[in-house]
Amino acid sequence: MTAHDRPRFVVPDKHLIPVNAYPSSLYEIPPSRMFLIKKSLVKYRDKVGPDAVTFDASQGDGGASLPGVPLALLDRAHELVREHGTGYDTPYGCDAFRTSVVEQYWQLDSSLGWGPANVLAAVGGRDALLKAYDAMITLGTGRVGDAVLVSRVPWISYNWGPYAVGANVLLAPGDEESAWQFTPESITASVDFCKVNGGRQIAGIIITSPDNPTGRTLSTEQQIMLGKTALEQGVAFVLYDWIYHYITEGDPMDVNAVLSAFSPEERERIMILDGLTKSLGASNVRGAHLLAGAHVVKYISSRASHGVLPHFHAQAVAMAAYEQGFRQAAEPIIGPTNASRRIVRSFLTECGYHFIMGDGGYYAFIHVEPWMQAANVTDSFELGEYLAAEHGVAVVPGRAFSEEGNGWIRFSYATPPDVTEGALTRFHAGLAALIAR
């Protein structure tokens, strides 16, 4: 037989993937219920009438709960699309987008050694995260079965995104009083826990501020301290998720201040996620980007060339916003959300609720266990169904995030102030009625 007469693997034998049955033993990944929760409001309208007023405080949705991308920006983006054409771009996005991210959006300090080669365009935050997890695994520890470390009550998709690509997800120690945030001690304990559980390592840690679901925020100094602790403890990569950071009454994150706090070698192990979904009301534009070491971007780009390529339309929307000045472009989202945050904080304080909120993002995490216990409700999903079907207000049950969140609900105030007031009133009345029934 000659060589072409028999099967042949694409790669040399020494690079073949070892046979491993781990996919057959994976826990079944549940679908996200985030997109289904608001459908419970249909039951309320069926009961009260099709024109009944309902309130969706479950999640922010640019173009729905708040205005979408301003039409002038879309028009400018379409001009850019016409000029750019509809041919293939590179797997990292287009060069003009990378330059715009560096010079107009972040205004990266060139002395840090980072520039356009450190920018990767992605099809929304989830796409960027999946690509980041893959890089953490391959470039970080080189093994499936190691861990990605998240907070004790993490965003739903943090639980399952890493798991789907071969990393176990580890919930760090944490408690309610500190809003389950990371501490140096909890990071160290997590590293030690992995060592005695199969000799595992931590391929990456995700530090989110403003946080989803709790709404708590971390200062720049706190984020740097946590990142340095993780790297010192041998965590392969630190990913800062700043997708909400522009929605704030203060200043957005200063990327130069963060990157300059790390040595050039440490910076190669830093990733930063940002995008348009939250701050520009661009939920369905699906535009995000990663800042990362050039070798990480090159690795992800190589794999993306055989997988998901970023589309130019989202990059054009971003470029149009960066041209205008992002703070000004995002004001239709930032202004109403900041006003609603003040209303939520005042209402919950006056009504005596125990809750978690920071000065950015658009979530409040509200403790509802006393009402659940009084009504003999043990599952916050049951509470969420009751509030939607009986009182016409949709919130996210805390159990959706982890068992530790079961006595809480996530309340989104990514709505105009008058709608936020209505949702709070309906929520408050619903809890009172729960005890009375």
Q: Quote the pLDDT of residue 24.
A: 93
* Residue 278, amino acid: K
Domain 37-59+330-436: which CATH class? alpha beta
Alpha carbon 265 to its chain's center: 26
Q: Quote the pLDDT of residue 35.
A: 67
Kindly write down the DSSP assignment for every residue of 316-382, as one continuous string: HHHHHHHHH-HHHHTHHHHHHHHHHHHHHHHHHHHTT--EE--SBSSEEEEE-HHHHHHTT---HHH
**pTM, entire model:** 0.96
- Residue spans of the domains in the chain: they are 37-59+330-436, 71-326
Closest-CA residue to 119 (of 93, 140, 152)? 93
Architecture field, domain 71-326: 3-Layer(aba) Sandwich (3.40)
Distance from C-alpha of 429 to C-alpha of 312, rounded to nearest angstrom:
46
Distance from C-alpha of 307 to C-alpha of 300, rounded to nearest angstrom:
10
Q: Quote the pLDDT of residue 2.
A: 57
Structure tokens, 27: 């826990």
Mapped onto helix, strand or coil, the DSSP state of residue 180 is: coil
Q: Quote the pLDDT of residue 33.
A: 74
Per-residue pLDDT in tens (0 to 9) along the chain, 437 residues: 556 888 889 999 999 999 999 999 999 998 877 667 777 899 999 999 999 999 999 988 877 888 899 999 999 999 999 999 999 999 999 999 999 999 999 999 999 999 999 999 999 999 999 999 999 999 999 999 999 999 999 999 999 999 999 999 999 999 999 999 999 999 999 999 999 999 999 999 999 999 999 999 999 999 999 999 999 999 999 999 999 999 999 999 999 999 999 999 999 999 999 999 999 999 999 999 999 999 999 999 999 999 999 999 999 999 999 999 999 999 999 999 999 999 999 999 999 999 999 999 999 999 999 999 999 999 999 999 999 999 999 999 999 999 999 999 999 999 999 999 999 999 999 999 998 87
Q: Quote the pLDDT of residue 59.
A: 86
Closest-CA residue to 242 (of 218, 289, 208)? 208
Distance from C-alpha of 415 to C-alpha of 430, rounded to nearest angstrom:
20
Count of other CB atoms within 10 angstroms of residue 436: 8
Q: Quote the pLDDT of residue 91.
A: 97
Bond before 50 cis per omega within 30 degrees:
no
